[in-house]
Amino acid sequence: MKANIIKAPTRFGLLLYPGFAPLDVFGPIQALTSLSYAYGDLNLTIISETLDPVYPGPPAVGVKTFWPVVINSTVSEGILPTHTFETAPPIDVLMIPGGFGGWAPAPILDSTYAFIKERYPTLQYLFTVCTGSALVARTGVLDGKHATTNKNAWDIVTPWGPKVKWVAQARWVTDGNIWTTSGVAAGIDGFLAWIEAVYPPEAATNVANGMEYVRNSNSTNDPFAALNGLTDANNSTNPSPKYALIVI
């Protein structure tokens, strides 16, 4: 009988597009960085349409958002890609952040969608944060899958994936090799859960403690669903949330 040998992934790819949300990227990336100090041999490729620096930023004028956005600030940080869609090496785990830039109308992100569709069949895992899942939904890769996304942006972005089984009451959702998390900071919890699922048992705890991060370890404990008036009763295609009411 042949043993199933599962090799933990070592080749990580971070997909960047203009207007990503900083913590969507650097929450999971901090966890990956800490993991890399403990386990070694991990590699991160930063992939974008071109090698130009990629900046977070407010939504483009005219893009509908969930709160009034002032766009006269200049708070942004240029991140350098290491590869383009054409030059990116093989990767095991593709990480996709959210952010207002991912809300751009066609054809702005067409090459980004094409890269995701092309690479998905070659991945061990796809990991999205925040509205990164809504961006992926536009490629069809999430069709028929359970997924979650940013709870503030829910009503605006979930229609981009009409065939996706959106789950509202979730800090993160897994379906096969696809991990999607709720908004921004939820990416940290989701990525720690992913580490826990894939690396040795102590890894996620060590990484979280090293980051001095108080984990939310229950994927269905999501206060931001209720805060935004979302329940899964709204969507009959979703599974029942697995939670227990605990009275203290």
**Applying CB under 8 A, which residues contact a copy of itself?**
12, 14, 21-23, 25-27, 29-30, 32-33, 36-44, 46, 53, 56, 58, 67, 69-80, 130, 150-152, 182-186, 188, 206, 209-214, 216, 223-224, 227, 248
Residue 18 Cβ, how far from a copy of itself at the closest point, in Å?
Answer: 14
Residue 193 Cβ, how far from a copy of itself at the closest point, in Å?
Answer: 15
Looking at the Cβ atoms of 12 and 85, the one nearer to a copy of itself is 12
Residue 88 Cβ, how far from a copy of itself at the closest point, in Å?
Answer: 15
Residue 86 Cβ, how far from a copy of itself at the closest point, in Å?
Answer: 20
Q: Which residues are CB-neighbours of 9 under 8 A, at least 6 positions away?
A: 92, 93, 124, 125, 198
Q: How distant, in Å, are the alpha carbons of 24, 184, 188, 233 from that of 130?
A: 7, 5, 11, 21
Looking at the Cβ atoms of 139 and 181, the one nearer to a copy of itself is 181
Residue 173 is classified by DSSP as E
Collapse the DSSP code of 178 into the 3-class scheme (helix H, G, I; strand E, B; otherwise coil) and give the result: strand
Looking at the Cβ atoms of 44 and 108, the one nearer to a copy of itself is 44
CB 2 within 8 A of CB 99: no
CB 149 within 8 A of CB 133: yes
